[in-house]
Structure 1
Amino acid sequence: MTITADLPVSPAQRRSAELERQLAADPGRFRVLTGDRPTGALHLGHYFGTLQNRVRLQDLGVDVFVLVADYQVLTDRDVAERLTEHVEGLLLDYLAVGIDPARATVFNHSAVPALNQLMLPFLSLVSVAELGRNPTVKDEIAHSRQAAVSGLMYTYPVHQAADILFCKGNVVPVGQDQLPHLEITRTVARRFNERYGAVFPEPDALLSAAPLLLGTDATKMSKSRGNAIALGADADETARLIKGATTDAERHITYEPERRPGVAGLVLLAALCLDRDPSELAEEIGNGGASGLKLTVTDAVNTRMAPIRARRAEYARDMGYVRGVLRAGNERANAVAEATLREVREAMGMFR
């Protein structure tokens, strides 16, 4: 992550920058936990926001655990709809973008009982008031799809703590808005160590440097808003979605995210696909107008995504292999989780 001298730098940003240096120097010291809820298709926002970074860390030599958070689908939903379809879609996307099951562990919540059992002692280490004050929980409650807030919503940060600490993850890639969740994990680790003896690391945040990618309606690209371009979309579907994207009445194309979010969002998408500076790209399109911009974006996206789509289609022809990736990842995750749970029980003096 690049930190500019003319902007205020937070302690979290300074620590993240230092982490990047340490990761490059000695990647074998680190274990990363990251993942997704299987609630729909992954899209370009996920690709540029998180998926590329996972592959980068994997390729550095960091031990990467990728969680398919199937239990957490129920955090803000009454039922988990089309769960098998969504899990398989995640697996296809992971493999297509370059997650290597020989170097990364892909697993799902419901297949690792010992991970979920860690929630019980962890819940004893935080108060209801602390969970209720968590700003991320407040936001999730405000946008919940449930008629009433479930207990799982309040315990969501503690479940995430179990996700991270079961494998003794010491680095977690997050956005700025997810720092409160990670702070709960750090609190749980610290309090457990103080009460029972040193077992867990206090994980650090690796802040994402990825810019916010807008959807076709000029708001944040999201599975639930119907404004996303899925990784699995073909070239024609991608062209159709971009053609219908929100722009504005000004013909000359500029990159002004505050004043022209729709236009700027499209410019940024093309720039990310082309590894170009968005301001320079906008200047190059210039008087081409919205139609010229959309043609540029369509070509850029389809060119960048073509090899990923080809790999995804190839993996989709052998779903037995894809499901086997998850089974193998679950086997490793179970071994790690059971070892950690044994250590926790011993530290707590549990009778066996």
Structure 2
Amino acid sequence: MEFFDLKKQYELLEPSIQNRINAVLHHRKFIMGPEIAELEEKLSSFAGCTYCVSCSSGTDALLMGLMAFGIGPGDAVFTTPFSFFATAEVISLVGATPIFVDIEEATFNIDPMKLEEAILDVQKGMQRVPGISKRLNPKAVIAVDLFGLPSKYGDINRIGKKYDLVIVEDAAQSFGGALGEKKVGSLTDIAATSFFPAKPLGCYGDGGALFTDDADLAKRLRSLREHGKGEYKYDNTRIGINGRLDTIQAAVLLGKLEVFSAELDRRQEIAGFYSEMLADIVKVPRIPEGFRSAWAQYSVLTDQREYFLEKLKKAEIPFAVYYPKPLHLQTALSYLGYHKGDFPISEGVSERIFSLPMHPYLEREEQEMIVNAIK
């Protein structure tokens, strides 16, 4: 049994993916080939937004998003401490300061009420980051859609408008999700996603994309991904990065897009079965009304994690723990001066959470085996 089974997916899609890769090998436009524009058009259409700018990874997507708004030293960017390291890493890379805001246990996403409290504190000059004494300028929020569930963007966008903050949707795990009638990618000022192989829509290497309805912003993003390119290759108008998506990866993604909607539906079915069968044993995910998760992961909470993990080990069933250490306790961010106890919900979740196999090709018999192992 696989935690995420790329082999089964490839067996289904092999003819389409191979044909598309062969087309790239034939035309030999390995950098910014025609598949890039085709992919961006299809992704923007899927997400229901005007522009999509592909790039080299989900991390670079977040980085480019901050760079496009000129965020840097002296700026405060509010985000969650319960996420993959890249979320806070990009804030530090542009010279800004991450200000962490605890999560809601029910959703694993940033708590909008606590977010507004943190913004007000920073506006008043209060020291929200123990290791940073200088006054910071509130500039942006990176809201992470953890495990595929969109954050509460109705509240978050209202807060952003009220305090004139850029709202960045970290949709690395949630592409394919939705909030009401709007899909992930069209919920905020700018959204960044990842095509890491294990994501709901993944390529065969690294890849990412950004989404926006702002034409000027899309133009800046395209410039940033090619070393700040201006009117032509050797005209550089800003400091950028080497952030292009490889054409072959675009070809892979085009093949996978053919079945993406069906895969999302299958993820819903698998999550529903897990929740029905496990609700009396562990704390299962609860999706708020009007929200649709992309179910990148199926994560549960329990005070007996080691007990259940040992049962899964004995049954030779794969599992994962996302995330065992919150970001505010990471050594690389120790300069911020945070300590254990500063974000009790994130810390408590990190000690109780584990994830079960989740992918669209998980058979019912395999799910029953997983459930029986836990029971």
TM-score, normalised with respect to structure 2: 0.26
Structure in which a larger fraction of residues adopt helix? 1
Structure in which a larger fraction of residues adopt strand? 2
TM-score, normalised with respect to structure 1: 0.28
